[in-house]
Structure 1
Amino acid sequence: MDGMPNIKKWIIIYPVYINSKKTIAQGRRISAEKACENPTCIEIGDCCSYLKLPFAIELDKAYPRDFMQRGRVRVLLKREDGSPYNPAIGTRKQLMLQIAELVPKHHGRTKKQEATATSNAGPSKSGKGGKKKK
């Protein structure tokens, strides 16, 4: 790559765009059925790298409509010559739908779910007996 790419021209994905917990008025951009629960910038970034798309996470940026929502992801869909990086994704909408589909399968999430499933099974050591006698 010659120098820094001009990421100002890249499209922006705010996590709120694909958050099933938000309403259209709050900034959701895709249908609630297709959206995912509380996605993070990191998860979105990981999805972009999985989809072989160049991306940049901007954690210092906030969503204008809800400035408590920190972070956004810039994604480059097309090369200089206009050809898409991923032929399956040509538009922002397609990208949002793809990411929303991938986030629930994100390794960070699947690990958490497996951990809660396995920690309940089997004999637990953290029962009583943790307190010291006086």
Structure 2
Amino acid sequence: MMDGGGGSAPNTKKWVVLYPVYINSKKTLAEGRRIRTEKACENPTCVEIGDCCHHLKVPYVIEIDKAYPRDFMQVGRVRVLLKKEDGTFFNPAISSRKQLMLHVAELVPRHAGRTKKQEPASSSNAGPSKSGKGGKKKR
């Protein structure tokens, strides 16, 4: 995490808030998604978003105890600082909240923890789905 300790906590109030819902391809616009489904990623977590912010070299703080206002069951958010004190951007490629969401959504599927998890899951899902289809055809 790239937070400056207890002293910088009050300063994070002005930082951009990024809820995982904003870039979740499984959610609808009404449920809170903010970018196109094609650009969004599947079920991102705060830790993955934080790691992506670290990769993009922008300061961030994960607030795991905060809930999404529209759905309080979705806990966690990430605060990100886009601009330095002199007004220049930490990452010139990211000059808005929307660009941040698009960049993070692009990076999350390539996240190290995610790629390891998906390989066994996709192969185990392929077996039962085939037998499931066969079972349905026979009935």
Return the TM-score normalized by structure 1: 0.83
**Residue 107 (structure 1) aligns with:** 112
Pairs within 5 Å for 1:15-30: 15-30=20-35
Deviates more, 1:38-47 or 1:110-119: 110-119
Cα deviation, 1:62-106, whole Å, max 9, x if unaligned, reads: 000000000000000000011000000000000000000000000
**Equivalent position of 1:10 in the other structure:** 15
Q: For the pair shown, which has the larger CA radius of gyration, 1 or 2?
A: 1
Moved over 2 A (4+): 113-119
State, as a whole percentage, how many aligned pairs show the same letter. 72
- 2:104 equivalent to 1:80: no
In structure 2, stretches of 5+ residues that fail to align are 125-139
The 5 A counterparts of 1:89-128 are 89-116=94-121
Report the count of equivalent residues: 120
Give the superposition deviation at 1:113: 2.4
Greater fraction of residues in helix: 2
* Alignment of 1:56 onto 2:61: yes
User: What displacement does 1:4 show?
Assistant: 1.8
For 1:95 and 1:67, locate their aligned partners in 2 and report how far apart those are by CA, in whole Å: 23
Coordinate RMSD, CA, aligned: 2.0
Secondary structure at 1:110 match in 2? helix
Structure 1 residues 37 and 87: CA distance shift in structure 2, 3 A: same
Return the alpha-carbon distance in structure 2 between the equivalents of residues 104 and 111 of structure 1. Answer: 11
Aligned-pair CA distance for 1:114: 3.5
2:75 is the counterpart of 1:65: no
Residues 66 and 50 of structure 1, relative CA distance in 2, 3 Å threshold: same
SS at match of 2:101: helix
- Distance in 2 (CA, whole Å) between partners of 1:99 and 1:44 is 6
